[in-house]
Amino acid sequence: MKNPKKKPIKFIAFLLICLILFVSFVTISLSLLRAVDKNDNTIVTFVIPKGQATQIIAKNLHEEGLIRSPLAFRLLVLQQGLQNKIQAGSFKLSPNLSTIELAHLLTKGTDDVWITIPEGWRREEIAASLVKQDLSNFDEKEFLDLSSGLEGQLFPETYLVSKASSSQTIVNLLHNTFENKALALIKEHLPSSNLTVEQVLTLASLVQRESAHDTEMPLVAGILFNRLEINMPLQVDATLQYIKAFSTAEQNWWSTPTAADKKLDSAYNTYLNPGLPPAPICNPGLAAIEAVLNPQSSNALYYIHDLSGQIHTAETLEAHNANVNQYLR
């Protein structure tokens, strides 16, 4: 006959085990959420790029010696509902912060702001965009004065900058990035080219504005080289847009060119003046620069883009006009 007293004893033992496991779990969890070193107030600049996953943030925090456990950080973020509140930017953190303190700091405003300079923007576009950013010391006119003569050398990129950055700081950042990423590439290829750095940048700026996609840039570059070779005017519409500058009617810097624009009196008018314009008309990206350094060979002298953005080339004016009639009318 079974002893009925054994059932309560087993149940109590089971509860004790559960209690011990629970207390152990809580103790370990609290331990993992404690500061790495309560006495270490070393400042660490920690950067979170846009769109970075919590898993990667946790891993990077652990590698920087700022948290004890990536898993504990991720569980805490989930429990606190912070997964969509962590901001991109740079943060000043220390190992003396607990994980919960650190996690909540990552949801607050940073001292920095992300700015994006797209490929193909001119200086004025960059300035107009930056003045709308949260940059307390940025001055539009000062930026334009400081960047005068640097069209084509303000590298298009996404940057993380201090909200206290001055116009000079930003000009230096964009120009230094150009020197590090683009100028080195150009100089590497110059020995095998008959072009100067300025000519490469000028051609690249035309290719940037005239191409619908990066993949077609070498083709467009090759066609422009073909025109230069026979002393044919480049006839690049983007140069007319550059001359006209900001269009109040269209509210952009690259308004639709008209037939009358082809008579504009400017050294940048590539319909009236053979050869390259005096300087770049925008700030090209690496794809456009590489296209000029490695153009695609063809016999084409003309190109158009249809309404879907597809490029169509032609070797003769007659064939070009046929393309215009077929794809644009």
- Tens-digit pLDDT profile for residues 173-189: 999 999 999 999 999 88
pTM metric for this prediction: 0.77
Q: For residues 30, 35, 39 and 42, what is the CA-based torsion angle, rounded to 10 degrees?
A: 180
Distance CA 57, CA 46 (A): 10
Mean pLDDT, the chain, integer: 89
Residue 216: exposure state from Cβ atoms within 10 A (0-12, 13-18, ≥19): buried
Top-level class of domain 38-110: alpha beta
Distance CA 179, CA 153 (A): 8
Q: Chain centroid to CA 108: how far?
A: 23
Q: For residues 104, 109, 114 and 115, what is the CA-based torsion angle, rounded to 10 degrees?
A: 160
Is residue 24 predicted with pLDDT exceeding 50? Answer: no
Is residue 23 predicted with pLDDT exceeding 50? Answer: no
Q: Report the b/e string of 79-103 with b at 16+ CB within 10 A.
A: eeebeeebebbbbebbbbbbbbebb
Residue 162's region, left for phi above 0, alpha for psi from -120 to 50, else beta, is beta
Is residue 281 predicted with pLDDT exceeding 80? Answer: yes
Summarize the confidence of residues 6-12 as an average pLDDT.
Answer: 61
Tens digit of pLDDT for each residue in 205-261? 999 999 999 999 999 999 999 999 999 999 999 999 999 999 999 999 999 999 999
Is residue 1 predicted with pLDDT exceeding 70? Answer: no
Q: Which of 200, 272, 259 is nearest to 233 (CA)?
A: 272
- Residues 103, 82 contacting (CB under 8 angstroms): yes
The pLDDT value recorded for residue 44 is 87
Q: For residues 317, 322, 327 and 329, what is the CA-based torsion angle, rounded to 10 degrees?
A: 100
The pLDDT value recorded for residue 82 is 87
- Residues 243, 279 contacting (CB under 8 angstroms): no
| Residue 151 or 41, more confident | 151
For CA atoms 119, 120, 122, 127, the dihedral sign is negative
**Per-residue confidence band for 304, with pLDDT thresholds at 50, 70 and 90:** very high
Q: Which of 277, 157, 296, 308 is nearest to 206 (CA)?
A: 277
The pLDDT value recorded for residue 28 is 45
Distance CA 75, CA 18 (A): 21
Is residue 22 predicted with pLDDT exceeding 50? Answer: no
The pLDDT value recorded for residue 9 is 67
Tens digit of pLDDT for each residue in 123-174? 999 999 999 998 999 999 999 999 999 999 999 999 989 898 999 999 999 9
**Per-residue confidence band for 83, with pLDDT thresholds at 50, 70 and 90:** confident
Write phi, then psi, for 162 (nearest 5 degrees).
-65, 140
Distance CA 119, CA 99 (A): 40
Strand partners, 262: none
Summarize the confidence of residues 13-23 as an average pLDDT.
Answer: 49
**Per-residue confidence band for 197, with pLDDT thresholds at 50, 70 and 90:** very high
The pLDDT value recorded for residue 25 is 44
Q: Give the whole-number percent of the chain exceeding pLDDT 90.
A: 65
The pLDDT value recorded for residue 212 is 94
Q: Which of 78, 126, 124 is nearest to 103 (CA)?
A: 78
Question: For the packed helices 286-293 and 217-229, what is the interaxial angle rounded to 10 degrees?
Answer: 40
The pLDDT value recorded for residue 2 is 53
Q: Which 3 state secondary structure label does DSSP give 170?
A: helix
